[in-house]
Structure 1
Amino acid sequence: MATSRRRWIKLATAALSAAWLSLSVMPAPAFAADKIVVFAAASMKNALDNADAAFTKETGKEVTVSYAASGPLAKQLENGAPADVFISADTNWMDYVAQRKLIKDDSRVNLLGNKLVLVAAKDKAKPVEINHGFDLAGLLGDSRLAIGQPESVPAGKYGKTALEKLGVWASVEKKVAGAESVRAALALVSRGEAPYGIVYQTDVSADPGVAVVGTFPADSHPPIVYPFAITATSKNPDVQAYFDYLKSAKAVPFFEHEGFTILKQ
């Protein structure tokens, strides 16, 4: 009886070992590698999600997007993170990756434009006339101004430049609540943690809790330009078709609906 039990255990162990061996040599699923991977500025989320859904419906090709501030995304590319397309919210970070040979230079295109606005919680929103020397510090009182980190977030850099040009930055510099992205700055206003914030016009539709109270003069900051490019390491056979789609008339409605201006088709 004991002999039969030991024999059964040996057979069961052998069977389990064989099963484990067969599983261990099975190829890993390949579907993840087939997806088009995009690194995109946080302010692109609504428009790009909708455009990507239409592209997938039309072609059957899946797109996955990592949204963040342009600076951290550029640094991730520099550190070897795999992506097929990079979309920056300013030309500086695209220049950064270009100088490091991380994009295909001939693919680069300045596709979209945007506007810089001052926002407040919708239930407390009152129009603010944004001009030289306007009393932003007085509006803030003891509270904070939500803005992307001026050192790394494009919207923060544009915001700081605009406030400097308008002669206001020195009075509010110590009141700044620097956020990791423009959408994070938007959330601070929406949650009531900051009474005012500086974001892109296109961000406002992403949060029903905020409203535009003023638009910064176009000459108070450099033009807001979104460059697109295919990465140098991309080997995805579908990336060119996807990139062409983003530049085509088919994608225009998704961008315009969120408030972007089309610079090139």
Structure 2
Amino acid sequence: MLALLISWNLFKNFSSVDTLQRTSLNVSAAISLSKALGEIKTVYQSSNPNFTINYNFGASGALEQQIQQGAPVDVFFSAATNPMDALQQSNLLINDTRRNLLTNRLVLISPKNGVALSDFKQLTDARIKKIAFGEPKSVPVGQYAQEMLTKLGLWQQLQAKLVLGNNVRQVLTFVESGNVDAGIVYATDATASDKVTVLLTAAENLHSPIVYPLAVIKNSRNPAAAKAFVDFLGGDQAKIVFQKYGFGIVR
């Protein structure tokens, strides 16, 4: 009987440890964050070995729709406020966990040794045949770019030249491959590639502020762990990594 009791206690202890080891967080994040968050994951898991971080990277608008449709997400990290606002309006966030964390800039790029431009208005030139562009309905970098080109009076003129990408990394790939003459991406994506040249940086008054908010999703299976990870992302250790990849920090 004693042996049976000891065996049962050992089983419970091993089961408890195994459960801790299998605890995971699902984080849906803008694809422009992939490199920075990849490094942060390594740092975080080294200090929290009982938790596994699973990332789902994509366009923020598409990720928001997945969450609206019930995708099992613990934390959402968006490249724009609109997708987060939509989730908040749908009462899908734990409200006191929402915070604006990062900033970025919008840049015009060309393939390495490609066309040289000194003004966004030169995108209308005949030598510019194709421009890679994020789908404005779901890709925040496309929304910001549309705002900028509209303010410059260029949006309608450039419609026939646009080659739409499903996310900012696809836009970058279009330019890297030389399949387009130019593209509009985030500064952080451009600086991470040695296959493109940054031609121009958009003035910040030409588009909405590029802000990256994050929050815990109300249907999180582990809200305490999700809140702890969000707090870590807002901490000094993570901020150093974000700045290393070119992101600004919201003050």
Match of 1:82 in 2: 72
Code of the residue aligned with 1:262 in structure 2: it is I
Deviation (angstroms), 1:128: 2.4
Q: 1:53 is matched with which residue: 42, 47, 52?
A: 42
Structure 2, unaligned stretches of length 5 or more? Answer: 1-17
Describe the SS at the equivalent of 1:55: helix
**Does the residue aligned with 1:102 lie in a helix, a strand or coil?**
coil
- 1:204 maps to 190
2:86 aligned with 1:96, yes or no? yes
Q: Tell me by how many angstroms 1:193 deviates.
A: 1.1
> Is 1:125–1:213's contact at 8 Å kept on the other side of the alignment?
no
User: What code does the residue aligned with 1:38 have?
Assistant: V
From the superposition, tell whether residues 111 and 73 of structure 1 become closer, same or farther in structure 2 (CA, over 3 Å): same
1:219 is matched with which residue? 205
- Say whether residues 1:172 and 2:158 are aligned partners: yes
Please point out which of 133, 136, 139 is paired with 1:153. Answer: 139
1:201–1:89 distance in 2 versus 1, CA, 3 Å: same
CA distance in 2, matches of 1:158, 1:211: 20
* Contact 2:124-2:157 at 8 Å conserved across structures: yes
Counterpart contact for 2:104–2:186, Cα < 8 Å: yes
The residue number in structure 1 matching 2:169 is: 183
Give the letter aligned to residue 172 of structure 1. Answer: L
SS at 2:138 equivalent: coil
Maintained 8 Å contact 1:140/1:196: no
> 2:15 corresponds to which residue?
none
3-state SS, counterpart of residue 124 of structure 1: coil
The alpha-carbon distance between structure 1 residues 103 and 140, as it changes in their structure 2 partners (threshold 3 A), is farther
Pair 1:44-2:33 in alignment = yes
Once the two structures are superposed, residues 238-264 of structure 1 have per-residue CA deviations (whole angstroms, 9 ceiling, x without a partner) of 222211110001111111111111004
SS state of the match for residue 167, structure 1?
A: coil
Q: Is the 8 A contact 1:256 1:262 kept in 2?
A: yes
**For residues 12-51 of structure 1, what are the structure 2 equivalents within 5 Å?**
34-51=23-40
Structure 1 runs, 4 residues or longer, greater than 3 Å off = 29-33
Structure 1 residue 125: deviation in Å? 5.7
Amino acid corresponding to residue 82 of structure 1 in structure 2: P
Deviation at 1:127, TM superposition (A): 5.0
Distance in 2 separating the partners of 1:231 and 1:247: 17
Q: Tell me, yes or no, if the aligned pair for 1:190 and 1:209 is still in contact at 8 Å.
A: yes
Evaluate the alpha carbon distance shift between residue 125 and residue 30 of structure 1 in structure 2; reply closer, same or farther with a 3 A threshold: farther
| Residues 13-66 of structure 1, C-alpha deviations (whole Å, 9 max, x = no match) | xxxxxxxxxxxxxxxx96896111100011111111111111112221321110
Percent of aligned pairs with the same residue?
A: 35
Q: Structure 1 pair 139/106, CA: closer, same or farther in 2 (3 Å)?
A: farther
CA distance in 1: counterparts of 2:225 and 2:184, whole angstroms: 37
Contact 2:145 2:184 in 1 (8 A): yes
In structure 2, give the amino acid aligned to 1:48. L
Could you say if the C-alpha distance between residues 252 and 58 of structure 1 is closer, same or farther in structure 2, counting changes exceeding 3 Å?
Answer: same
Match of 1:241 among 228, 233, 239: 228
- Match for residue 122 of structure 2? 135
Residues 1:193 and 2:183 aligned together: no
Matched residues, number: 232
Q: Distance in 1 between matches of 2:67 and 2:146?
A: 26
Residue pair 2:24, 2:54 contacting (<8 A) in 1 also: yes
| Change beyond 3 A, Cα 1:31–1:113 | same
Gaps of at least 5 residues in structure 1 are 1-28
Tell me the TM-score normalised to structure 2 length: 0.87
1:110 aligns with 2:100: yes
Q: 2:54 corresponds to which letter in structure 1? A: T
Q: Which amino acid aligns with 1:69?
A: A
Kindly provide the CA deviation profile for residues 219-246 of structure 1, in whole angstroms up to 9, marking residues without a partner as x. 1101101110000011324222211110
C-alpha separation in 1, matches of 2:117 and 2:162: 21
> Which secondary structure does the structure 2 equivalent of 1:67 belong to?
strand
